[in-house]
Structure 1
């Protein structure tokens, strides 16, 4: 039997935390705990079915990160480049881009794409 979960953000003594309550049990998570939980949930979600859609959904609103921090690196483990983007809530996310994807991205960034999504729902 599943029990309801509640999540309550806290800010006490200058520190941020979140209290998770499930049934009669509670856990208090600080920023490091939350970062670890997000990373673990992301890894678990990556193996669940159905997978996330391969294209952005037009009916969904996406969190827009204006001018995010980014970093490009090369790795001896992959052909192409590793693109890292910083999301305010998820932290740094790394993407391995093989040469064909780099070419497609370059073309997409240098040409005027058609307007497909409303400005308030552009995916990063």
Structure 2
């Protein structure tokens, strides 16, 4: 039998923490443990079906980072670049972009903006 889970942010000895409660059991996680949990959940989710949609859905609200930190790295392992973007909640996310993707990204970034995707769907 499944039990409800609740998540509660709190301060533990002056440090931000998160308390998970399931039934009569509880766990207290600090920032490092939350980072590890997010990473593990992302890895698990990557293998679950249905997969996330290949295109953003206009009816969905996406977390929006304004002017995120970013870094571009080149690696001898493959052609192209690794683009790292920093999200305040998820941390650094790395994306491998081969040359054809880089060309499409360059064209998309330099093209005139279209109203195809409503900005309101990006904001929580």
Query: Scaled by the length of structure 2, what TM-score is found?
Result: 0.94
Once the 2 structures are TM-superposed, how far is the Cα of residue 6 of structure 1 from its aligned partner? 0.3
CA distance in 1, matches of 2:87, 2:120: 17
Separation in structure 2 between the aligned mates of residue 40 and residue 12 of structure 1, nearest angstrom: 24
Displacement of 1:79 in angstroms is 1.6
Deviations 1:41-71 (A, max 9, x none): 0000000011000000000111110000000
In the other structure, the counterpart of 1:84 is 84
RMSD of aligned alpha carbons: 1.2
Hey, what does 2:38 align to over in structure 1? Answer: 38
Tell me the distance in 1 between the aligned counterparts of 2:3 and 2:122.
35
- Superposition deviation, residue 118 in structure 1: 2.2
Secondary structure of the 1:116 match is coil
2:31 aligned with 1:27, yes or no? no
Give ranges in structure 1 of 5+ residues lacking alignment. none
Cα distance in 2 for partners of 1:113, 1:103 equals: 17
1:1-124 matches, cutoff 5 A: 1-122=1-122
Contact residue 64 and residue 121 of structure 1 kept, 8 A = no
In 2: Cα distance, 1:77 partner to 1:47 partner: 24
Q: CA deviation at 1:12?
A: 3.6
Task: List structure 1 segments (4+ residues) > 3 angstroms apart after TM superposition.
Answer: none
Query: Structure 1 residue 119: deviation in Å?
Result: 1.8
